[in-house]
């Protein structure tokens, strides 16, 4: 009889310690998850049209939320070749670095690659009787511009962006 009680006690304590361990693991995982969300550039930001309107200038709003296009050679950055980082004007997500910027001669800031794979997202755009690939901010969905296959090495891509969607920070 004593042996049985002892056995039950042992099983119970093992079960309890296993449970508490797995709880600790869960807590750790949750914490890791939260940390990752904080630094991830794909942590989505969703705001209403009204909120964006309040936050952005008229031109920034037209381009980023209404998929407008600024006139070529008029934006702030088509002719900027300083070293630094280009951020999303709407949510500050880092999008491009100056090292990947090149002079495409088209009047819009052009890059051959985004700063990271998840910093932007792609949508098929069939407006104006063309099929183009729209590029949007990976975090807030702001319209940035389009990507074409006539860029320079190493990617052969040309990310043709609107200055109005970007905010440049010099290094
Ligand atoms: Zn954004």
CA of 46 to the centre of ligand 1 (A): 10
Cis? peptide before 89, omega within 30° of 0: no
CA of 82 to the centre of ligand 1 (A): 22
Would strands 84-88 and 94-97 be described as parallel, antiparallel, or unpaired? Answer: antiparallel
CA of 58 to the centre of ligand 1 (A): 16
CA distance 21 to 78: 56
CA distance 75 to 110: 12
Whose tokens are 């056995």? That residue is: 7
| Phi, psi (degrees; rounded to nearest 5) at 147 | -115, 135
Tell me: pLDDT of 26 over 50.
Answer: no
Tell me: pLDDT of 23 over 90.
Answer: no
What is the set of active-site residues? 160
Residue 90 burial (10 A CB sphere; 0-12, 13-18, 19+): buried
CA distance 167 to 171: 13
Q: In 3D, which of 100, 103, 144, 101 has the Cα closest to residue 120?
A: 144
Rounded to an integer, the average pLDDT of 94-110 is 97
Structure confidence by residue, pLDDT tens digits, 118-155: 999 999 999 999 999 999 999 999 999 999 999 999 99
Give Cβ neighbours of residue 84 (< 8 Å, ≥ 6 apart): 97, 98, 168, 169, 170, 171
More confident residue, 127 or 25: 127
CA of 30 to the centre of ligand 1 (A): 26
Q: What is the 3-state secondary structure (H, E, C) of 13-68?
A: HHHHHHHHHHHHHHHHHHHHHHHHHHHCCCCCCCCCHHHHHHHCCHHHHHHHHHCC
Q: Which residues surround ligand 1, an ion (CB under 5 A)?
A: 88, 90-91, 93, 137, 139-140, 142
User: 30: pLDDT confidence band, cut at 50, 70 and 90?
Assistant: very low
Q: In 3D, which of 75, 61, 78 has the Cα closest to residue 142?
A: 61
């Amino acid at each position: 009889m004593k042996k049985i009680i002892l056995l039950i006690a042992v099983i119970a304590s093992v079960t309890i310690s296993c449970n508490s361990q797995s709880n600790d693991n869960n807590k750790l995982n949750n914490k890791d998850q939260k940390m990752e969300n904080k630094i991830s550039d794909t942590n989505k930001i969703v705001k209403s049209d009204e909120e964006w309107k309040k936050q952005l200038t008229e031109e920034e709003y037209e381009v980023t939320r209404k998929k407008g296009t600024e006139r070529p050679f008029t934006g702030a950055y088509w002719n900027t070749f300083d070293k630094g980082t280009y951020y999303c004007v709407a949510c500050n997500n880092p999008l491009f670095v100056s090292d990947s910027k090149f002079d495409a001669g088209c009047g819009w800031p052009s890059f051959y690659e985004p700063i990271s794979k998840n910093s932007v997202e792609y949508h098929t755009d069939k407006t104006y009787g063309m099929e183009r690939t729209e590029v949007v901010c990976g975090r807030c969905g702001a319209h940035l511009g389009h990507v074409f296959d006539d860029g320079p090495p190493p990617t052969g891509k040309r990310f043709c962006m609107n200055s109005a969607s970007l905010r440049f920070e010099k290094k």
